[in-house]
Every structure is written in structure tokens, then in C-alpha cells.
Amino acid sequence: MHTHTTTAESIIDSLSKLQDPATYRDLNWQGSFDEYLQTVRRQPGVTRTAFQRIYDMILSFGTEEIVEFKEKLIRYKFFEDPIDHGRDAVYGLERALMRIVSFFKAAAQGYGTEKRVLLLHGPVGSAKSTIVRLLKKGVEHYSRTQEGALFSYAWRQTGANGETTWAKCPMHEEPLHLVPEELRPKLLDYLNADKPSDKHITISGELCPFCRQTYRELLRKYDGSWADLVKNEIRVERLLLSEKDRVGIGTFQPKDEKNQDSTELTGDINYRKIAEYGTESDARAFNFDGEFNIANRGVIEFIEVLKLDVAFLYDLLGASQEHKIKPKKFAQTDIDEVIIGHTNEPEYRKLLSNEYMEALRDRTVKIDVPYITKLEHEIKIYEKDYNPKRIKGKHIAPHTIQMAAMWAILTRLEDPKKAQLTLLQKLKLYNGKTLPGFTEDNIKELRADAHREGMEGISPRYIQDKISNSLVSEKSATSINPFMVMNELESGLKHHSLISSDELRKRYKELLAVVKEEYEDIVKNEVQRAIAADEDALKRLCGNYIDNVKAYTQRERVKNRYTGADEEPDERLMRAIEEKIDIPESRKDDFRREIMNYIGALALEGKVFDYKSNERLQKALELKLFEDQKDTIKLTTLISSVVDKETQEKIDVVKSRMIKYYGYNDESATDVLNYVASIFARGDVKHR
């Protein structure tokens, strides 16, 4: 028993060392109103509005400028979720996020958007909720930092037996609201002395009904002396925003229309306290705990905002335009909070056709949050959930996630207006691949032509569900591969509730066929490279090719390595390699000069040319070597039941290369080799 206690104590002691008492004291600071005014003088940022605070919070994590197809974009690092190590990171939505930050910037400077509801609009699963969750989490975290500090206050209350308790302002107001109108100009002169005009502190807003009543009663007690009141009856304290504690962050989700009640937003009478205070219009007999009340100084999120009953809209409109709410039985009450709603396309279309909602439309800034249309960003979403750290006991074969992501993006892209461009090529262009005849300006045009791109298609949630199904399926022993996931994706289309027509279902199936064809090309290429991954043979072939190209471009002869005789450059060898990467006869001279210039440039830098230095040449050499070697390995023998020992050894070498260089495990490497062997057996190998 004794040993157990000692161990427990030592664990507690070791954990306690991780805590910092100084930080705790900072976060739970309490002081007088006068001390608060000194803080405001030193650190005027404590009095910022909710919009200013959110904007500064986003910027505090830093930015970087990126250029995409000649367009300068700003990437706000906050949206990569540094607070939670990327758990809620938002990828590939730079344009939408820039518009959101611009909204906050304008609101922070008082240019009008602070009087609007921010409405995030887009298809299901396009990260609208994630963006709001990030903003709530960010402002919560920021309130715990030195630069993001903000304060509220509490009233001294003396109990029947003389003990002192403190009643916090139920709406966590800015302490400067305690300064009466007639004293504010003089106080502001003092606080703003020596500050540039753009850094001037302002005081806007009045006390909430509870504080107003308490203030009036205490002012009588102190015979009108405001100074005595704030010295003796007020305690200022640090305010930590917290969604869990319902401080400064609120969330409202509409119920069905019969059960909607506006007291959820603006608070309700506390019937138990009416007996104590005698009337329901006494502020002490009212709970200021509606979502608008508790979200004061921070953020309120309206989930599916357009499902709100019309009766609620008046609260919403007043809160956004006037920054006031109307609790039952009380005068209009000032609030300072960011109102964010999100909604999907069908709900928004309903709003457009509903004349009662015109006032809401007028007070809304709508920002479209589309699906991702860049493959590498879509892949990141799935890799966050499906990676070796999180998936135990199952191997995800190479290209599985890539192919699922590729299909998702294809369903979101609009058909290119350029007749010679396929949808798959468009996907590759968006992903940064270069195609002959397409400049960055062309890609900008492609984007501009597709107005609704990313607003329809398959959501990432559907893909995640199907990858999960494949992982728990009995069919897979140790690994899942692209075909398993693609079969899941296809079979799920029959029951997909968001696919409205058979025509759309047919189109999505056709796009799956495009992805399967692309996968076939990728794995054929991979197996070919694994067969040809004989380093020494590749180096020899490369050396031979370069010798011949050098002799050809300098109009010299080549020394035959075996006979020692000088011979003409081997045109057949050079063309056999160049044709593998589609260098036409008319371009061969340019290509060969390009290679020689490249080697020369490397030599000037003191570097030695290696066949891996030039990606196109490497591919050509690998394909040529594969062609020379494929007869010696006879991949098609994989399918037959009888394989001789020598062939089996060669196959094992290829398999071990697939595992070592391309990320396969034993089962998935065997599957891919069998699959590619069946293609070779059909005799439809084509070089790309």
C-alpha cells in the first residue's frame, strides 16, 4: 500500500512541475479599476472590438506570399491550425480565406462590414464549419496570450452574514462601460495623450441591464460619487474566452420550427427569483444567458443559419446592424461580437426566393467556400486521417489515396471549353504540371471560364467514408489498394443521397473509369521502372547515350568500347531512347543540344552529370532498359502456375524494389505485379 502512495505522489509531483504558477497568476489577474486604466494606457489593445481582436489574432500567426499561375495570394498560417498541430488545417482555399480576412480587416477599421453577418456558403463538406471552429479556437487561444488579453469586471456583494462575494457582469463587458457619458471625453483625453490618431481608444456602448441596475443602486449608496463606487465596489479581472464555459463564444443551432424560442438567443426570466425580487422586470430576476449574451466580446456561430424561423431574424438583424439585442422586458442592450453563419446551396437558393428574407440578404456578406480543386491539397486532407501513425495493422498501398482524391476533384471540375483539353489534363494543369502549349495565362483563363467550379461534386466526407469501409472490409488481408477503394466509391453511388439524377451518377462512373485508366498507366510505369532499376545497367546505358550525343553534336566519331575502332554515332541507339519520351525526329537535334548544354552548365558549377539529374532522360533510359530486359524476365510468367527458379529470383528482386523504393508491402507488391502482368498478357502495353 505504502509503495503505491509514493508512486502516486511522485507522478503528481512530476506533473506539477509542468505547470507554471506565474502563467496561472497572469491569466487569473484581478485588480482595481484604477489599475485597469493604467493597463489601458500602457496596452490600448485590451479595449479592442471583437472584430479587431479576431483580425489581429489571424495576423499574429504570420503570413506568406505565394504565387499561383501568376496570381499573388496570401497564405494566412493561422488556417493551418498551428494551435492544434494541424488537426483542423484548411488546405487549398487561399482565395476564400483571403476574402474572409478582408472582411475582418474592413470590420476592424470600421468600414461597415462590422454591421454585417458573415455568411459562409458552399457545398456540404467544404470546410465551412472547420473555418468557424478554427476562428473560435483561435480567439479562445488568443485571449490567453499577453497580446490578446482582455478584461471584464465584477460587483462586490455582501451576504446576510457579512461575507463578500463577487457577481460578474453576465455579459463580460468592457470595464470602460462603467465610465459615465459626461466623464468619457476627459478620460479619453488622458488615455490617448501621446498616441497617434489611428491608435486612439474609443468607448462605445452602455452597461447591460443587470449592471445598469446595480450601478444605479450603488450610486445612491455613495451619494452620486462615481469614483467611490468604482474604488470600493468594482473588481476588474482578466477575461478568458471559452466555448466550453460559455464565455465569449456561443453557438446556435436551429431546432425544428415548432420548438424555436427566441429566449435561447437573448436570455429568459428566472421565475425562481421573481419571489425574491418582487417583479420580473428586475434585472436580477433575469438570466442573461442567451447565446447573444454569452458570446459578447467574442464570436457567435449560427449553424445552418437560413433554417432560422423568421421571428429570430429580427434579433439577428438588430444584432448585426445596430450591435444591440432586446432581452424580454428590458431596453435594447449593446453587444460587441462577430456573427458568423454558414449554409449550403439549397438553403441559400431558398433565401433568394423568399421576400421576407430580403432584409437579411441586405445585411449579409456572403463568401463562397468551394471544394478544393487542386489534387495535392485534396490528398493532404485524407493523409491527415489515413497515415501509418493512425492506421495500425493495415497497409495503404501507394496511389490509393491519390486515386480517390483524383476522382473527387474530377467530379468538381467543369468541362474545359478548349476542345483539345481533357478533364484529367485540366486537373494536372491545376496541380502544377506543365503540358505542351499551355502557359500560366491559359490556366488563369481556364479558371476564369469556370465560374462555379468547386461548388458541386463529391464531398471529402464521402471519400473518407469509403476509405474507412475498405480498411475494415474482410476482403483485404494486410493492405488496401486503389481498386478496393474505387469499387467502394462506385458501389456507394447507387445510394448516395446527394446525387440527384441518373445522368450525374453515370458521369461520376465514367470519371472513375478515367481514374482507373490513369492508375493503370502509373503502375505499368512503376513496374517498368522497378524492372529496369538496375543502377549499373542504367549508368552504362546513360554513358553510352551521352558519348554518342556528344560525338553527334560535335560532329566527331565514337570509340567502340570493345573493338577500339572509331565509328559514326549510333543513331539507332539514340533514337530508341528518345522515342520513349516522344521526341520526334524533327526535335532530336534540339533535345541533344539541350542535354549537352545542361551537362556543360553543371560542369561550370563543378557538378557531375548523372542520369538522375534530368527527369525526362531518366524516364527514357528506364523504358529502354525495360524493353531490353522484359524478355529476360517474362512478366507474363507471373500468371502461370509454374515459374522456374531463375525467373522467380528475378521476380523477387523486382518485388523487393517495389517495396524498397515505391512504398509497397509484400501483399500489395504481389497484387500490382500480377495486375501489370495481366496487362502485358493482353498485349496492350503502351509507352507514355
The stretch 679-688 carries a mean pLDDT of 57
Cβ 470 vs Cβ 382: under 8 Å:
no
Helical ranges in 143-239 per DSSP H: 184-192, 209-221, 226-233
At residue 179, the pLDDT reads: 96
Measured from the Cβ of residue 520, the count of other Cβ atoms closer than 10 Å reads 16
- All three cell numbers of 461, joined, read 466526407
pLDDT in tens, 33-49: 999 999 999 999 999 99
Strand, helix or coil for residue 117? strand
At residue 535, the pLDDT reads: 75
117 DSSP β-pair partners: 364
Amino acid identity of 142?
Y
User: Is the model's pLDDT at 688 over the cut of 50?
Assistant: no
Residues 6+ positions from 223 with CB-CB distance below 8 Å: none
User: Is the model's pLDDT at 189 over the cut of 70?
Assistant: yes
DSSP 46-91: GG--HHHHHHHHHHHT-EEEEEETTEEEEEEGGGG-TTTTTTT---
Angle between helices 460-472 and 482-492 (to 10 degrees): 120
User: Is the model's pLDDT at 642 over the cut of 70?
Assistant: no
DSSP 454-523: TSSS--HHHHHHHHHHHHH-TT-SSEE-HHHHHHHHHHHGGG-TT---HHHHHHHHHHHHHHHHHHHHHH
The span from the CA of 30 to the CA of 238, in Å, is: 7
Report phi then psi at 354, rounded to 5: -105, 110
Report phi then psi at 32, rounded to 5: -80, 165
Higher pLDDT, 79 or 445: 79
At residue 3, the pLDDT reads: 47
The span from the CA of 625 to the CA of 529, in Å, is: 9
User: Among candidates 613, 554, 536, 545, which has minimal Cα distance to 578?
Assistant: 545
pLDDT in tens, 49-104: 999 999 999 999 999 999 887 789 999 999 999 999 989 999 989 999 999 999 99
Measured from the Cβ of residue 275, the count of other Cβ atoms closer than 10 Å reads 8
Mean pLDDT of the chain: 87
pLDDT in tens, 346-378: 788 877 777 777 888 888 899 999 999 999 999
HSE-up of residue 605 (Cα within 13 Å, Cβ side): 8
Long-range contacts of 81-88 (CB under 8 A, 24+ apart): 81/134, 81/137, 83/137, 83/138, 83/141, 84/137, 86/384, 87/384, 88/130, 88/133, 88/134, 88/137
Report phi then psi at 72, rounded to 5: -80, 125
pLDDT in tens, 115-134: 999 999 999 889 999 999 99
Measured from the Cβ of residue 394, the count of other Cβ atoms closer than 10 Å reads 17
Cβ 315 vs Cβ 326: under 8 Å:
yes
Cβ 154 vs Cβ 237: under 8 Å:
yes
Higher pLDDT, 207 or 159: 207
Report phi then psi at 241, rounded to 5: -70, 140
The DSSP H or E segment spanning 432 is none
Specify the pairing of strand 249-252 against strand 299-303. Answer: parallel
Angle between helices 400-412 and 460-472 (to 10 degrees): 150
User: Among candidates 76, 199, 56, which has minimal Cα distance to 141?
Assistant: 56
User: Is the model's pLDDT at 640 over the cut of 80?
Assistant: no
Instruction: For residue 498, name the pLDDT band (cuts at 50, 70, 90).
Output: confident
Long-range contacts of 34-42 (CB under 8 A, 24+ apart): 34/230, 34/231, 35/236, 36/151, 36/153, 36/175, 36/236, 37/187, 37/191, 39/151, 40/176, 40/191, 40/201, 41/190, 41/191
Cα→Cα distances 427→124, 235, 454, Å: 21, 60, 12
The DSSP H or E segment spanning 398 is none
Cβ 371 vs Cβ 344: under 8 Å:
no
Measured from the Cβ of residue 225, the count of other Cβ atoms closer than 10 Å reads 12
C-alpha of 539 from chain center? 44
The span from the CA of 281 to the CA of 290, in Å, is: 17
664-670-674 Cα angle (round to 5)? 130
At residue 7, the pLDDT reads: 54
303 DSSP β-pair partners: 342
Count Cβ atoms within 10 A of the Cβ of residue 387 and give its class: 0-12 exposed, 13-18 middle, 19 or more buried.
Answer: exposed
- 177-181, 334-338, 624-628: least confidently modelled range: 624-628
Q: Is the pTM of this model over 0.75?
A: yes
The stretch 215-226 carries a mean pLDDT of 94
- All three cell numbers of 289, joined, read 444567458
Higher pLDDT, 509 or 279: 509
The CA-based dihedral angle spanning residues 420, 422, 427, 433, taken in that order and rounded to the nearest 10 degrees: -50
The span from the CA of 128 to the CA of 581, in Å, is: 44
Express as a percent the part of the chain with pLDDT over 70.
Answer: 94
- All three cell numbers of 9, joined, read 505522489
Cβ 500 vs Cβ 418: under 8 Å:
no
Instruction: For residue 206, name the pLDDT band (cuts at 50, 70, 90).
Output: very high
Report phi then psi at 290, rounded to 5: -70, 165
At residue 313, the pLDDT reads: 77
At residue 449, the pLDDT reads: 84
